[in-house]
Amino acid sequence: MKILVTGGAGFIGSAFVRMLVTQTGHRVVNLDKLTYAGNLENLTSVESSDRYRFVEGDICDARLVEALVAEEQPDAFVHFAAESHVDRSILSPEPVVKTNVFGTFTLLEAARKFKTPRFVHVSTDEVYGSLEAPREATEDYPLNASSPYSASKAGSDLLARSYFVTYKMPVLITRASNNYGPYQFPEKLIPLMIANALDGKRLPVYGDGLQVRDWLYVDDHCRGILAVLDQGRAGEIYNIGGNRSLPNLEVVKKVLALTGRPESLIESVTDRPGHDRRYALSSEKLTRETGWRPEMDFETGLARTIAWYQANSQWVERVCSGAYRDYYQRNYGHRTALR
């Protein structure tokens, strides 16, 4: 197959592109705008493959998207491109709504026009909002997004589904839990805590740190998406979870233990507005239909991730230069220590 991947220079998209090029015979066209989160360094291991092509461009640019689809005639879209961070969506919602909603619309329109045989839309468990324990969202659970990020993902998720219902387009939707692993931009919890711990800096934990997330190793997520691409039923939604729920404070303490840093580095700071308390989902449907299940256990995955950040300190230094420092100041500068 020839697969048009969007956002393939980001964290999960680049893991998916590396997996496609090295472990399958598929051809890959990667369309990415190279925002602060897109980094071609993530793809050096595959850039010289004759089954890989990179195109720099914005998914909101209908003319560019149409021309690319007309030229390449892909067999499938796998759509990762997004503004993917809740805190940034709180600071500046506009690019989040544009890319996540309008960009998805642009891609769906191109796929409709050129009758692309498959369209996988990569969504998130955040569309379900916060769930009381011990409840787990199945795919029919109501959408109840809280942040501009998750609301924009819920919007694009519903839009993607509408193209199946209305136009009978072969759309499939995946909703995954929190990913972690190598190459993740140090704005999300785990890479930010690793980068700060390795640097001897304070670890800013929002509020009481008892918010719960389900952790999924990035390669397990990519295998889940591949299973949906290959075996999923058109029009269906598939949850992809790591089956490992943990409160943030426990995750942060594990990072400190594995990096040999003291817990006194933890700083409890002003909470995120609208902070969802708990995400939880069941991936039983994907397992039942495709045999997929998460393989990486959290402690091994976390140790492997930390080892990657230690071995790739120059990657961290480069992505944490100028613009990152401005973001850090905007997001954390006004937060006060709670104790």
Beta pairing class for 245-247 and 212-217: antiparallel
Based on the residue annotation, tell me whether 125 is a catalytic residue of this protein. yes
Distances (CA, A) of 144 to 141, 154, 155: 9, 8, 11
Which partner from the list ligand NAD, ligand TYD, none does 204 bind, CB cut-off 5 to 8 Å by kind? ligand TYD
- Report the residue from 176, 212, 227, 256 that binds ligand NAD according to the rule CB under 6 A: 176
185 makes contact with ligand NAD (CB under 6 A)? yes
280 makes contact with ligand NAD (CB under 6 A)? no
Given the residues 52, 128, 141, 149, the one annotated as active site: 149
Is residue 89 within 8 Å of residue 148, measured between CB atoms? yes
**Nearest distance in Å: CB 183, ligand TYD:** 15
Amino acid identity, residue 169?
A: M
Based on the residue annotation, tell me whether 149 is a catalytic residue of this protein. yes
178 makes contact with ligand TYD (CB under 6 A)? yes
Q: Which is nearer to ligand TYD, 22 or 92 (CB)?
A: 92
| Residues 85-104, interacting with ligand TYD (CB under 6 A) | 86-87
The contacts of residue 186 (CB under 8 Å, 6+ apart) are: 192, 194, 195, 316, 319, 320, 324
| Residues 101-160, interacting with ligand NAD (CB under 6 A) | 103, 122, 124, 153
53 makes contact with ligand TYD (CB under 6 A)? no
- Report the residue from 4, 28, 38, 278 that binds ligand NAD according to the rule CB under 6 A: 38
CA dihedral 70, 76, 96, 21 (to 10 degrees): -110
Based on the residue annotation, tell me whether 332 is a catalytic residue of this protein. no
- Residues at the contact surface with ligand NAD, assessed by CB under 6 A: 6-7, 9-13, 32-35, 37-38, 58-60, 80-84, 99, 103, 122, 124, 153, 176, 178-179, 185
Annotated catalytic residues are: 125-126, 149
